[in-house]
Structure 1
Amino acid sequence: MRTSQIHRKTGETDIQLSLNIDGRGTYDIDTGCGFLNHMLELFARHGRFDLSLKCSGDSHVDDHHTTEDIGISLGQAFREALGNKRGILRYGSMMLPMDETLILCALDISGRAYLNFDVQIPTEKVGSFDTELTKEFMTALTREMGLTLHFKMLAGENSHHIIEAVFKALARALAQAAAISEEYADEIPSTKGVL
């Protein structure tokens, strides 16, 4: 089982996270931010990752530290659970429609952190959530995981739909890339021999 446990405590957040990459999509999530809970729940469900996450953060300020630090912790959890990445498919992509929205996500579990976030979110907030934090989350995740991650918005008007499609597309593409190939199960998918 490819699992990990992360405890990250700073002056701004206290996060307990457990991840099973080869799960069934079960989740128990409490970030202190309802919209972020929703995004992480659907991320777990659509990626079929088992995810337990509890965060106590300085939400009396705003949700910035909570969102960024959860991205950091989730990236660390994936990196730890993937180990040496032997046998993974490495690449994943998803073109995900959600009503009027269409999001393309393509990624490489490369060991090299890069984010291209070509997504225009029309409103500053969804509920109490600052929509610009979507990119902050993805930046933290890519940096800590060593992930090359591209998003391209091909259509979209509703901010909730756009962000939800981003998280769902990420989940599907990441599940694809992290899957073990029976054909290459004993190999590192790189000519370098490491990822």
Structure 2
Amino acid sequence: MSENITPHTFKITRKERREANGHNSLLIFFTGLSGSGKSTLANGLEQRLFEDGYKTYVLDGDNVRTGLNKNLGFSPEDRSENIRRIGELAKLFIDSGTVVLAAFVAPYASDRQAIRELVGSENYIEVFVNTSLAVCEERDVKGLYAMARKGEIKNMTGVSAPYEAPENPDVEVSHKMGIEDSVTYIYTRIKNQLRLKQ
């Protein structure tokens, strides 16, 4: 790491960007097993927020791994680094006045806690998409579970790698609720935090 770094302070503040957008900025972090519905719900919630005039952006695990994090694998160390970078990126989006929705397995509780501390607990909403492993395997949208069961994929969360489920998520939904009902439920739970504080 370079020691010759001096952070620059810019004139436009986070508060001013939020006021210009007319809403608060924060991170809505979706966590759950692969195939649980994280990206689907993040997409649905973003559509709802966008239609209501919020400035939004979605960060998705697969999309980020094709660019920013394409040099990372799925070892425990790489998974943690993947989430650390997402936290730093989300912090920039929050500073820009944007509501950022992130959909990541993020299997380790310590990594999710590190993001909460990085962006500030007041700017962090954790959504646990509590879909069982059995349902995720039944869906197997990407065919990952089948490959993992054959030993073709190593470090597959839920199969050969652990998933530490949130003990006290800010919001919890499951596949039993359905997509539309889940989006509405999440929106209802977070809307007060989207309002600018007077």
Whether these two folds match at TM > 0.5 is no
Computing the radius of gyration from Cα coordinates, the structure with the larger value is 2
| TM, length-normalised to structure 1 | 0.33
Q: Which is strand-richer, 1 or 2?
A: 1
Kindly indicate whether structure 1 or structure 2 has the higher relative contact order, using CA contacts under 8 Å at least 6 residues apart: 2
